[in-house]
C-alpha cells in the first residue's frame, strides 16, 4: 500500500520515489513508448489560482508521555508523570511560540477566508490543558476567522483525559475526536511501547460517549509484532461494537531511527509477512463495510456523512496552513516544512517574526509534481481520479497515456473505470473506447482502484502513473 501509515500527510508527505511494498507477485508492464513529460499550461495555472484560498489549518501539539516504539514523529516526551500539573513550562513555552508563529505568518489579503477545519495533531494533544488549546483557537480566529460550523478535530489518547477535560474542550468548539486506540490486546500495546492499557481504552470510549461527542474516530494499527489474525479480528469487532462514526486503519511501517527499526525487519517474524499484512487489510475492509462503514479512502472508513473534512482536504489536494514543530503547509502549489527539532523551530519562529523567512524561496511550482500529487492522492480515495478536470489541466494525451498503461490492470480488476454518472465501465467497453482514440475522453470520467485488491497494489499502480507523467 502507498504509505498507509499513521504519519500525517502534512508531516511527511509520501515520497514519490519510495520503494513500494509488494503485497502480490505482480508483474508491472514496462512502458515501451513513454510520452512526453507533463508541462505547465494555462489550465494548470488557473486550477491553482481557483483553489488558492486555504480554509484548513493543521496545528501540531508534540507532547507525549513517552515515545512509542514505531514513532518517528517530531515529539517532546514529558515523562509518565509531570510535577507541574497543568502548568508545565515546556508546554506553556511551546504554545507561546506556536501562537507567535500564527500571528507572524504573512497572509495576502486575498487569502483572507475563515477556517472551515482545524486539526490538532501530535504527539498527544490531549496532554495540553484546554486553556492553552483555547489560546491557540483564539489566535487562529483573530488571524483568519473560524467558521461557526467548522470541524475542529483533536487527537486524544486513552488515559490522558477525563470527562471534565473532554467537556472543557467541547466548550472551546472541539467537535471531533480521534482516539488513538491502536490495539485491544495488552501484549500488543506493551510491544508497541504505548502508555495506555485496554482498561483505559474502554474508559476513554465511555467518556467520549457520556460527554455526547457525536463525531469521533478510532485509530487502529495492523501488522504489529506478534499480531495474529484472531487478535486483529477482535480489535475490529470491539471497534465496531463501540460504534464510532469513523475508523482509521493503518498498516505499520518500520521507520528508520525508531526502536522497531533496531529490533525488526519488515515482512520477517515476529512482524506479519506481506501476505498476512494483505489479509489483515482485506479483513478490515470486509468487516467494516459489512458494519455499514464507507471505505472512502485507503485507510479511512466512516458512517454516512462522517468523512473527516480536514483530511479530505489533503486527498483532494487543496491548500492548507500548518503550524508547529515539523508540520508542512501547502500553499500556492508549494509544500513548506518547519524544523523538526524544538530549538530549531523556535529559531524559525523568531526569524519569521523578523521577516527572514520566505516559504517559497528558491521554489517554483512544477507541473509534474502537481500532476503526480493529484494522481497519488486521488487514487487513495474511493472517488478516484477525476479525468475531466485532470485532462483540462494536463492535456488529453496524458489521459490517453494513463489509459494505455492501466489497460492490463483494468482487465485484471485492480483499476475500475467510471463514467460521469459513476456507472462502471466494463473492461470490454473500455478496450473498445480506447481503440477509438478520443472517444474515451468523451465517455471516461473517473478511474479508481478496486477495494480491497486495487488498494493493496496502490504503490505499484501509482508508480505506473508516475512513469507516464515524468518519464
Q: pLDDT (tens digit, 9 = 90+) per residue, 338-372?
A: 999 999 999 999 999 999 987 755 566 788 888 99
Position 39 scores a pLDDT of 52
Residue 431: CB atoms within 10 Å: 13
Position 90 scores a pLDDT of 96
Listed in sequence order, the residues at least 6 apart from 178 whose beta carbon sits closer than 8 Å to its beta carbon are 153, 154, 155, 156, 216, 217, 219, 246, 248
CB 113 within 8 A of CB 53: yes
Nearest-CA neighbor of 387 among 369, 375, 376, 377?
A: 375
Q: Is the pLDDT of residue 168 over 50?
A: yes
- CA atoms within 13 A of residue 365's CA, in its CB half-sphere: 20
Q: Is the pLDDT of residue 1 over 70?
A: no
| φ, ψ at 335 (rounded to 5°) | -100, 135
- Alpha helices, DSSP H, located in 106-256: 130-143, 163-171, 186-192, 198-210, 229-242
Position 36 scores a pLDDT of 45
Contacts of range 369-375, beta carbons closer than 8 Å, 24 or more positions apart: 369/333, 370/44, 370/48, 370/333, 371/38, 371/398, 371/469, 372/16, 372/465, 372/466, 372/469, 372/470, 373/317, 374/317, 375/462, 375/465, 375/466, 375/469
What is the distance between the alpha carbons of residues 453 and 286, in angstroms, rounded to a whole number? 12
Listed in sequence order, the residues at least 6 apart from 1 whose beta carbon sits closer than 8 Å to its beta carbon are 21, 23, 251, 281, 298, 455, 456, 458, 459
| φ, ψ at 300 (rounded to 5°) | -125, 135
Whether the bond between 316 and the residue before it is cis, its omega within 30 degrees of 0, is: no
Q: Is the pLDDT of residue 50 over 90?
A: no
Listed in sequence order, the residues at least 6 apart from 350 whose beta carbon sits closer than 8 Å to its beta carbon are none
Q: Is the pLDDT of residue 335 over 60?
A: yes
| φ, ψ at 118 (rounded to 5°) | -135, 135
Q: Is the pLDDT of residue 124 over 80?
A: yes
What is the distance between the alpha carbons of residues 83 and 103, in angstroms, rounded to a whole number? 31
What DSSP character marks residue 405? H
Element (H, E) at 334: strand 334-337
What is the distance between the alpha carbons of residues 84 and 75, in angstroms, rounded to a whole number? 19
Tens-place pLDDT, residues 151-166 = 999 999 999 999 999 9
- Alpha helices, DSSP H, located in 211-326: 229-242, 259-263, 274-290, 309-315
Work out the average pLDDT over 268-282. Answer: 95
Q: Which of 299-313, 356-370, 406-420, 426-440 has the lowest mean pLDDT?
A: 356-370
**pTM of the shown model:** 0.89
What is the distance between the alpha carbons of residues 375 and 384, in angstroms, rounded to a whole number? 9
Amino acid at each position: 500500500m502507498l504509505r498507509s501509515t499513521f504519519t500525517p500527510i502534512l508531516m511527511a508527505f509520501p515520497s514519490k520515489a519510495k520503494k513500494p511494498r509488494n503485497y502480490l507477485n505482480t508483474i508491472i508492464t514496462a512502458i515501451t513508448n513513454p510520452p512526453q513529460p507533463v508541462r505547465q499550461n494555462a489550465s494548470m495555472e488557473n486550477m491553482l489560482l481557483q483553489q488558492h484560498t486555504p480554509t484548513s489549518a493543521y496545528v501540531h501539539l508534540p507532547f507525549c508521555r513517552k515515545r512509542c516504539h514505531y514513532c518517528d514523529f517530531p515529539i517532546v516526551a514529558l515523562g509518565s508523570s509531570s510535577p507541574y500539573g497543568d502548568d508545565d513550562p515546556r508546554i506553556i513555552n511551546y504554545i507561546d511560540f506556536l501562537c507567535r508563529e500564527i500571528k507572524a505568518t504573512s497572509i495576502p489579503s486575498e487569502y483572507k477566508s475563515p477556517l472551515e477545519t482545524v486539526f490538532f495533531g501530535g504527539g498527544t494533544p490531549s496532554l495540553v490543558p484546554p486553556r492553552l488549546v483555547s489560546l491557540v483557537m483564539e489566535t487562529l480566529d483573530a488571524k483568519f476567522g473560524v467558521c461557526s460550523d467548522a470541524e475542529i478535530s483533536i487527537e486524544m489518547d486513552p488515559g490522558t483525559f477525563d470527562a471534565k477535560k473532554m467537556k472543557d474542550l467541547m466548550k472551546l468548539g472541539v467537535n471531533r475526536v480521534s482516539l488513538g486506540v491502536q490495539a485491544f490486546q495488552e501484549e500488543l500495546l506493551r510491544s508497541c511501547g504505548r502508555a495506555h492499557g485496554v482498561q483505559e481504552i474502554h474508559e476513554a470510549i465511555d467518556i467520549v460517549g457520556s460527554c455526547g461527542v457525536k463525531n469521533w474516530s478510532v485509530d487502529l494499527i495492523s501488522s504489529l509484532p506478534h499480531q495474529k489474525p484472531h487478535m486483529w479480528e477482535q480489535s475490529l469487532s470491539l471497534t465496531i461494537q463501540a460504534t464510532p462514526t469513523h475508523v482509521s486503519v493503518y498498516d505499520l511501517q518500520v521507520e528508520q531511527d525508531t526502536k522497531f527499526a533496531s529490533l525488526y525487519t519488515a515482512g520477517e517474524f515476529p512482524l506479519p509477512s506481506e501476505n498476512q499484512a494483505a489479509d489483515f487489510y482485506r479483513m478490515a475492509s470486509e468487516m467494516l463495510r459489512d458494519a455499514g462503514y464507507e471505505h472512502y479512502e485507503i485507510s479511512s472508513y466512516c458512517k454516512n456523512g462522517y468523512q473527516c473534512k480536514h483530511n479530505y482536504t489533503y486527498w483532494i489536494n487543496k491548500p492548507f496552513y500548518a503550524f508547529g514543530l515539523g508540520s508542512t503547509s501547502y500553499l500556492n502549489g508549494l509544500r513548506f516544512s518547519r524544523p523538526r527539532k524544538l530549538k530549531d523551530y523556535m529559531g524559525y519562529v523568531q526569524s519569521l517574526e523578523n521577516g527572514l523567512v520566505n516559504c517559497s524561496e528558491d521554489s517554483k511550482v512544477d507541473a509534474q509534481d502537481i500532476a503526480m500529487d493529484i494522481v497519488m492522492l486521488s487514487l487513495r480515495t474511493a472517488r478516484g481520479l477525476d479525468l475531466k478536470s485532470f485532462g483540462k489541466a494536463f492535456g488529453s494525451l496524458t489521459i490517453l497515456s494513463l489509459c494505455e498503461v492501466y489497460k492490463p490492470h483494468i482487465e485484471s480488476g485492480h483499476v475500475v473505470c467510471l463514467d460521469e454518472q459513476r456507472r462502471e465501465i466494463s473492461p470490454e467497453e473500455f478496450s473498445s473506447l480506447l481503440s477509438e482514440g478520443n472517444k474515451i475522453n468523451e465517455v471516461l470520467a473517473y478511474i479508481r482502484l478496486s477495494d480491497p485488491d486495487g488498494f493493496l497494489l496502490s504503490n505499484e499502480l501509482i508508480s505506473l502513473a508516475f512513469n507516464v507523467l515524468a518519464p
